[in-house]
Amino acid sequence: MSSTYTISRDQIISLALRKLGVLEIGAVPDTDTIDNAAMSLNLIIKQFSIEGLKLWKNSELIIPLVTNQNTYILGGSTSTLMYDSLNPTVAITDRPLKVIQGFYRNNNVSPHIDIPVMVISKQEYNVLGSKFSTGTANTIFYDTKKLNGVLYVYLTPDVNASTNMELHIITQLPLDDLSTALAIPDFPNEWMNCLVWNLADQLSLEYGVPMNFRQEIAMRAGTYKTLLTDWDVEAASTFFAPDFRSTGNSSYTG
């Protein structure tokens, strides 16, 4: 038995065209039709990247620290070296969409010790003291740009930090593009039907599908996406507590 069934880019396109009634079973779309649908499918995937948690794209990246350097370019052609913790021999060049968590790993002791760091907003980073004070950082701020992101660390790493510490960040990476006919979407196989129906929805106007039929396609596409987005959540409980950093208070009196 198997639970790994999935479909490729061109199979998704053919299925979506059949949902629209413009492709017969067994027929193969021509090159121009495939190219047009592939553009729409990739645009859908870009949109899906920012909807929901996409837990399977959360990766633990390792950022080697540099003495006296407190900014690091993440992603793009000028990216700082960064590695996936599960495969530390391969450099990552994708721009992280967001940084969720961070910690330092002290490799100078055995077993290694992980020290959490605080992920803060731009406003919080701007009001910190001297950005060039050196030591072991306890705070990071990630500024997302168009082609890359900039990671700011505070304090600025000193020799001890850059020698003995690794910065680990939990990030959400973008979904991969589909650039070849046999490319498998960068989604769990539970998402394949959702991709088919959302592509059909995207293409329905181009093919002049009647309004009542378009409405049914849109309803199915929205329902499948909502079900999967609601399912793609953390299994653990979430707890909330007051943040006293801006007030200097250490206890809650309200």
What pLDDT, on a 0 to 100 scale, did the predictor assign at position 151? 97
Q: What is the pLDDT of residues 121-174, one digit of tens each?
A: 999 999 998 898 999 889 999 999 999 999 999 999 999 999 999 999 999 999
Question: Burial letters for 223-235: b for 16+ Cβ neighbours within 10 Å, e otherwise?
Answer: ebbeebeeebeee
**What is the mean pLDDT of the segment spanning 99-120?**
95
* Side-chain-facing half-sphere of 53: CA atoms under 13 Å: 13
Q: What is the pLDDT of residue 244?
A: 63
pLDDT at 8: 98
What pLDDT, on a 0 to 100 scale, did the predictor assign at position 200? Answer: 98
Q: What is the pLDDT of residue 243?
A: 66
Report the SS3 class of residue 158: coil
pLDDT in tens, 4-51: 999 999 999 999 999 999 999 999 999 999 999 999 999 999 999 988
Q: What percent of the chain has pLDDT over 70?
A: 93
* Per-residue pLDDT, 171: 96
The C-alpha atoms of residue 80 and residue 171 are separated, in whole angstroms, by 15
Would you say the pTM of this structure is higher than 0.85?
A: yes
- Report the interhelical angle of 192-203 vs 9-19 (nearest 10°): 50
Largest separation between any pair of C-alpha atoms in the chain: 70
What residue segments make up the domains of the chain, in order of their start?
9-52+176-230, 55-172
pLDDT band for 53, please (50, 70, 90 cuts).
confident
- Report whether pLDDT(249) > 80: no
